[in-house]
Amino acid sequence: MSGTTDSEVVVVTGASAGVGRATARAFAERGAKIGLLARGEDGLEGAREEVERAGGEAIAVPTDVADPDAVEAAAETVEDAFGSIDVWVNNAMVSVFSPAAEMTTDDYRRVTEVTYLGYVYGTQTALERMRPRDEGTIVQVGSALAYRGIPLQSAYCGAKHAIQGYTESVRTELLHDDCDVQLSMVQMPAMNTPQFEWTKTRLPRNPQPVPPIYQPEVAARAIVWAVDNGEDELWVGRSTVKAILGNRLIPRRLDDYLARGGYDSQQTDEPVDPDREHNLYEPVSGDFGAHGPFDDRARDRSYQLQASMHRRALALLAGLAVAVAGAVLGRRVSSADSN
């Protein structure tokens, strides 16, 4: 193709804001050529400028990932510009904060089409290009909610659970076919992204991420590391680990815990603006950037993630510590015996 170079070619969906925006910037810092896919043209333009300032190249492709033909056309546009796609990051999402009893069929359909089927269409489109080359990486931006459902987000939790099942199924097929395309899922904690400013809500108070909250750059570092290290699944943040393991060990107790505290923990003290815009069907105009309104409460690092990224070195150090301790203990025992 006309634009082919030796540089890494990356596609990021939902690239106009939040985790997608931070991820595009992270790949740009290593000189990648990036296809930016999202609906909001203002945010896409902002993302393109950030990528270029960070040292990468970018093409902005307005795309609704709920439309498989649009996803295919976007992939063709990126390849015409930059060459074969090496990495595809599925990140685009929409949600609705609402009790299930107040949800509409259209709400459920739209969240499913974007947040689940958008990942399916992105994955299928990427695999069509990567399978013949027997190389490439697809990353699903997941969530602790892929394992543990919480109140007021039934559509989103259902979509994330579906992504998890779909990804596991496709991965087994790739293994069966001895295909070297890497399929990864990165499970995220609560993130400080603009989604809480524009997600459709029926709650009386403004939505918020369930603390602890992390900056989107934490997610971006995890995604890049998963690509570089061929991780099948990576958990980000101690809260994610606790949610996933807790759901395996004490699911009914978590039901009770979330029933008591899950409503208040997802809302601030501020009442919802009755004129609030939402992005369920159309993007909200403007460039919101990567960060949401919770900078003062968000963490810019995860020690759990750092430990996961360096677990081999930590295991080696632990082994050395055990060996040293054993040698010291052995000398003491030997000295005691000789006395």
The CB density around residue 257, as the number of other CB atoms within 10 Å, is 12
* Residues with catalytic function: 156
187 contact partners, CB below 8 Å, separation of at least 6: 142, 143, 144, 146, 147, 233, 234, 235, 236, 240, 244
User: Do the Cβ atoms of 94 and 199 come closer than 8 Å?
Assistant: yes
Query: In this structure, are strands 96-97 and 33-38 parallel, antiparallel, or unpaired?
Result: unpaired
d(CA 327, CA 253): 45
Phi, psi of 67 (to 5 degrees): -105, 105
Compute CA distances 145 → 153, 155, 253, 274, whole Å: 9, 11, 16, 28
Record the tokens describing residue 116, joined without a space.
Answer: 């689940």
User: With contact defined as beta carbons under 8 Å apart, do 82 and 5 qualify?
Assistant: yes
In sequence order, which residues have a C-beta less than 8 Å from that of residue 240 and are 6 or more positions away? Answer: 143, 144, 187, 188, 189, 304
Cα–Cα separations (whole angstroms), residue 53 to 56, 222, 227, 289: 7, 22, 23, 14
Question: Tokens at residue 179, please?
Answer: 């295909």
